[in-house]
Amino acid sequence: MAGASYISTGSIAINPQHPPLLKELAGLSMALKGMHWQNPQHFDLMQLPSGWEWTAANQYVKALGVSRTLFWARLPLLVLCSLTGLLVFRWGRELAGTAAGLCAAFLWAADPTMVSHSYFVTTDAGATVLSLLFLLCLKRYLQKPGSGRAAVAGLTLGLALCAKFSAVFLLPIGAILVAAWLWLPLSQMENKNRAPLPEKPLLSASALVKDLAILTLAAIVVIQICYFSVTGPLQYVHGLSLVNADHRPDFQAYLDGHLQHRFITYFAMAWLLKEPLATVFLALGGMVLALRSRTIPRLSKLFVVAPPAAFFLACTFWAENIGIRYLMPAMPFGFIAGGIALAVLLGGSTLARVLAGGACAWVVVAAAGIYPDHLGYFNEAACLPDHAKRIGLDGGSRCGSDWLADSNVDWGQCLPQLKAWLDKSLPGTTVHMRYFGTYPPQDYGIKFETMKFSFPAGPPPGVYVISANNVATWGRYDVFSWMRSEPDAVVAHTYSVFRYDRQR
């Protein structure tokens, strides 16, 4: 709804705590198919009740048709996010050859987190591809400085900033990379016994200042365009001040059965548990190979290591502990490093090629096993050592709610699958439901009653459908210990179904 209102009114009024670019793309796609915002009149947003946006958006989607609206809103985001694969390939090819680029693109294409977020009308995947694009353009500029390349880098920086406010971390990251480039010796020869690598181009201080000014101006122009106003940068700063303004101050994150405001290990654990294990090993191994390489220039090494490290630290100390999605801008560098490691294995001994084949098979099985419920993927380590029997072709996804909650396991995204399962297995049944999401289940035709908060004597007879997020966060309490038992069914890796109309 926000994007549709931007296109219809030319005003960034709704949901200013997120930059407008990706929502504008969704709104433009819908407008081209005749789906316009139906309420363009001006109103005082301050007089509207809290949370009105969700109610209005749900009504808007329902009026236009859920499937039709979601398809056209998601299409431009899906196309944009597909560019990530091309960028990962290009980067990997530059570092270690075509094989490494293809392997990196393979790891990206089969990654459950990347697949699951590539078609959501949210900011995470779009910010990931645009951040990667800016860093690649900045690298191109430093390899061969020029005003044109500086302008292109500025344009991509503006696009990234207008995709998600966390992209502001690109500013210190870019400054560090430029400073490191200035500090690098003129000759980047790695070994006196090898031919020298290309020298760093000479650039005067005045030329560098001019190019950085061009870069900055280009980014500002993009922000003005995205905000439909010359005062766009001021609106951007205002929106930045609203980040997390709608988050509850008493919110507690969930990790491994515990609740607290922040876990220092949260994003490290999320990455280690939600990436296929083969990808984890390849990424770590590839980073070591890249750093030890005598053929990869120091500047290229810096661009592979510094951005993901900075994004990881930023997430660890500032991001809300609600999902691996916040870490996504760092993850393509893992695929690039993993592509290097996989290419080395493929070009090695027979044993190395066998290991490479096993790693590829592991990644493919993980992608196929969780299909089409990629959001809820967890690797096999999630079920070890206590629930090894739950490991399947989908890895350890059945144990995901033991470790993480919120958008790691459940975003209310599988209501159509739940409706189909209920129609087939329990036709006409009204279920007791605890749903984690914003779109009303009844609009999909699901008959339900909202489950009461507690049952002093245990659940009364009936069918209970519990979202994975609630299994994670509520199941830790004694009164809801029954949520930790084996459910009668798990629908779409998201909804646990418990039947208490018979003896369990």
205-261 confidence digits (pLDDT tens): 899 999 999 999 999 999 999 999 999 999 999 999 988 776 777 889 999 999 999
Does any domain span residue 486? yes
Does any domain span residue 427? yes
Mean pLDDT of 299-304: 94
Domain span at 451: 410-499
Sheet holding 431-434, edge to edge: 448-450, 431-434, 463-467, 495-499, 489-491
pLDDT score, position 482: 85
Q: Strand 258-260 and strand 253-255: pairing?
A: antiparallel
| Residue-averaged pLDDT of the chain | 90
Q: Are 208 and 150 in contact (CB under 8 A)?
A: no
pLDDT score, position 448: 94
Whether the per-residue pLDDT at 41 is higher than 80: the answer is no
Angle, helix 350-370 to helix 277-292, in steps of 10 degrees:
140
- Count the domains in the chain: 1
Measured CA to CA, the distance from residue 113 to residue 129 in angstroms comes to 14
Does any domain span residue 489? yes
Q: How many CA within 13 A on the CB side of residue 453?
A: 0
Whether the per-residue pLDDT at 278 is higher than 80: the answer is yes
pLDDT score, position 504: 46
Does any domain span residue 301? no
* Residues with Cβ within 8 Å of residue 432, at least 6 apart in sequence: 448, 449, 450, 451, 459, 462, 463, 464, 465
Closest CA to 87 of 105, 103, 75: 105
The H-or-E segment that residue 113 falls in is helix 112-117
Mean pLDDT of 188-201: 50
**Buried-state track 278-300, b at ≥16 Cβ within 10 A, e below 16:** bbbbbbebbbebbeeeeebbebb
The distance from CA 16 to its chain's CA centroid, rounded to whole angstroms, is 20
Does any domain span residue 179? no
pLDDT score, position 282: 98
CA Rg value for the chain: 24
pLDDT score, position 183: 84
pLDDT score, position 311: 97
pLDDT, tens only, 133-178: 999 999 999 999 999 999 999 999 999 999 999 999 999 999 999 9
Q: Strand 448-450 and strand 431-434: pairing?
A: parallel
pLDDT score, position 410: 87
Mean pLDDT of 370-381: 96
Whether the per-residue pLDDT at 2 is higher than 90: the answer is no
Using DSSP's 3-state secondary structure scheme, residue 450 falls into: strand
Higher pLDDT, 474 or 368: 368
pLDDT score, position 40: 46
pLDDT score, position 46: 44
Does any domain span residue 297? no
Mean pLDDT of 350-367: 97
The distance from CA 345 to its chain's CA centroid, rounded to whole angstroms, is 29
Q: What DSSP assignment string belongs to 215-277?
A: HHHHHHHHHHHHTTSTTHHHHHHHHHHTTTTTS-TT--EEETTEEES--TTHHHHHHHHHS-H
CA dihedral 453, 459, 464, 470 (to 10 degrees): 40
Does any domain span residue 241? no
